[in-house]
Amino acid sequence: MTIKVGDRVPEVTLKRIRQGVETVDTRTLFEDKTVVVFAVPGAFTPTCSERHLPSYIQHFHEFRERGIEVACLAVNDPFVMQAWARSQNVPEGLQMLADGNADFTRALGLEMDASAYGMGIRSRRFAMVVQDGVVRQLFVEAPGEYRVSSAEHVLEALG
């Protein structure tokens, strides 16, 4: 079942990339704060590297000025996420989350099978606004699209 607005975010453990790699649970990530989580099908893939992550890097301070944290999620291992963050010059504070086994992605019901492309199970492209652990807004892309999960669209939806 796919998560929807008003649902509580499932409790799962992820790997968060900062100076190194640390284990963090979703309760810690989302409790007592507002977070925009955007998910990409894969680090280093064309749309993800050329448009999606760069849109959040470009608008990162606009989210922060509103008191909103930003997190990027991908079904990749933490070392790939760390290398991708470095290659994209991700600003300090923009959290990079590795969901290597797709546990969180599956718990959200937002996985897709990219086996035909040699990529296995991945996340659909989406963005969600989570406030104190509850989904307040959810923007899931149609297959092959990049529009509603962009930083620009999310900022506009936030008003």
Largest interatomic CA distance in the chain: 41
Per-residue pLDDT tens digits for 95-138? 999 999 999 999 999 999 988 888 889 999 999 999 999 999 99
pLDDT band at 1; cut points 50, 70, 90: confident
Tokens of 136: 């307040």
Annotated catalytic residue: which of 9, 17, 36, 48? Answer: 48
48 annotated active-site: yes
Q: Which CATH number fits domain 13-158: 2.70.170.10, 3.30.70.3280, 3.40.30.10, 2.60.120.10?
A: 3.40.30.10
Q: What is the pTM of this model?
A: 0.95
3-class SS string, 29-87: HHCCCEEEEEEECCCCCHHHHHHHHHHHHHHHHHHHHCCEEEEEEECCCHHHHHHHHHH
Tell me what the pLDDT averaged over the chain comes to: 96
The answer on pLDDT for 82 being more than 90 is: yes
pLDDT tens-digit map of 34-50: 999 999 999 999 999 99
Q: How far apart are CA 87 and CA 53, in angstroms?
A: 11
Residue 52 binned pLDDT confidence (cut-offs 50, 70, 90): very high
Distance CA 146, CA 55 (A): 11
β-sheet bridge partners, residue 152: none
Q: Are strands 21-25 and 121-123 parallel, antiparallel or unpaired?
A: unpaired
